[in-house]
């Protein structure tokens, strides 16, 4: 059995999704959680497309059948691994021949197959539309080393709604943001996963998000969501400098020295030649606390500059005493999401 459905219907089904586009298309961007079962390799798709343009649709179909003929039994076996109960959704770029062919073969084998009308193109339109919604955001701010990410994680543990932008972007938002291990998704995939997480939240209820620049590494926060962040309430964490230095030494202290030096060189213009020189000397001498203190001069200036551009009526401050759980509760009280009794 095969049936065409729209995207909203698919979200309600809770069944595996098979993306039959090429590995290259899939890597550029896909629906989160989808399985890639490409009908054509990257090179084969180019061949078929060229034949379609230079010869005819019929010739392209015949070439496609020649290329995929030996593959179909393998597709069925892979689909059985993905969906042992034989219930699956399928899509290609526009919901055309590739997904139609896969749906027909799987249906012939006894699968219950749902094809996504409009294919991946429909998902992209839907994803970009999610950022236009008027979300009830609460922005968590604070200077570098304030523990914002840890507090967001604690809020999530407490079942509050949280969007972790740095996790989505796979970058910690500074010159050292890759931590010498993180690989950023494409901009398209960043948006896809971001939108997918947003649709699982209640837009009318508070959603916590960390204060970020427009760009996180090489990824850009969608414009409408960014404007929403800038106009939202911001709760600014105040943490002692010593606590911040200790936290950052713990975080950066184990990183490769050459990585730290390379990243420091990248911000030389903004840090200044003398500060950069002293910072690199501190790295080489294992004086990580001195390195962090030098770096914070630059980051703190930037943070205060950004804070000055916000509406003072939307700014609130909290002194953090180091207890993550207690701080998370205090933040929720300020935000109006917990009753006053929660303090006791």
Active-site annotation holds for 92: yes
Q: What is the mean pLDDT of each run of 10 residues along the chain (344 residues)?
A: 94 96 98 98 95 94 93 98 98 93 97 97 98 96 93 95 97 91 97 97 96 96 97 94 94 93 92 94 96 92 88 87 84 77 44
Q: What is the per-residue pLDDT for 338?
A: 62
Q: What is the per-residue pLDDT for 333?
A: 87
* Distance (Å, whole) CA 261 – CA 329: 38
* Distance (Å, whole) CA 261 – CA 271: 13
Q: What is the per-residue pLDDT for 306?
A: 86
The first and second tokens of residue 150, run together, are 């840890």
Q: What is the per-residue pLDDT for 238?
A: 92
Helix-then-strand count for the chain, H and E: 17, 12
Length of the chain: 344
Q: What is the per-residue pLDDT for 322?
A: 66
* Distance (Å, whole) CA 144 – CA 246: 12
The first and second tokens of residue 270, run together, are 């903004």
Q: What is the per-residue pLDDT for 95?
A: 85
Question: Which one is catalytic: 20, 92, 106, 237?
Answer: 92
Q: What is the per-residue pLDDT for 344?
A: 37
* Distance (Å, whole) CA 292 – CA 226: 29
Terminal CA-CA length for the chain: 58
Q: State if pTM tops 0.85.
A: yes
**Which 3 state secondary structure label does DSSP give 161?**
strand
């Amino acid at each position: 059995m095969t049936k065409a459905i729209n995207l909203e219907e698919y979200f309600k089904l809770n069944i595996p999704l098979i993306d039959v586009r090429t590995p290259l298309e899939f890597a550029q961007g896909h629906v989160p959680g989808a399985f890639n079962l490409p009908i054509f390799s990257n090179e084969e798709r180019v061949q078929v497309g060229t034949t379609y343009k230079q010869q005819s649709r019929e010739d392209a179909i015949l070439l496609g059948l020649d290329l995929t003929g030996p593959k179909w039994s393998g597709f069925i076996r892979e689909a059985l691994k993905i969906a042992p109960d034989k219930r699956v959704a399928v899509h290609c770029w526009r919901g055309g021949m590739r997904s139609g062919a896969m749906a027909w073969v799987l249906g012939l084998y006894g699968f219950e197959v749902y094809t996504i009308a409009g294919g991946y193109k429909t998902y992209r339109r839907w994803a970009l539309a999610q950022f236009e919604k008027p979300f009830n955001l609460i922005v968590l701010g604070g200077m570098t080393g304030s523990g914002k990410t840890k507090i967001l994680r604690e809020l999530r543990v407490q079942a509050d709604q949280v969007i972790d932008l740095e996790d989505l972007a796979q970058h910690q938002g500074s010159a050292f943001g890759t931590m010498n291990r993180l690989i950023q998704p494409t901009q398209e995939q960043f948006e896809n996963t971001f939108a997918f997480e947003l649709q699982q939240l209640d837009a009318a209820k508070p959603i916590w998000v960390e204060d970020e620049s427009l760009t996180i590494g090489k990824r850009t926060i969608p414009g409408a969501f960014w404007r929403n962040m800038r106009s939202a309430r911001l709760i600014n964490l105040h943490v002692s400098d010593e606590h911040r230095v200790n936290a950052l030494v713990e975080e950066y202290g184990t990183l490769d020295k050459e990585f730290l030096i390379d990243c420091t060189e990248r911000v030389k213009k903004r840090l200044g030649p003398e500060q950069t020189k002293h910072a690199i000397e501190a790295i080489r001498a294992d004086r990580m606390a001195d390195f962090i203190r030098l770096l914070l001069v630059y980051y703190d200036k930037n943070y205060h500059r950004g804070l000055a551009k916000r509406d003072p009526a939307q700014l609130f401050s909290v002194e953090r005493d180091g207890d993550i759980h207690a701080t998370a509760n205090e933040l929720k009280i300020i935000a109006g999401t917990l009753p006053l009794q929660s303090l006791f």
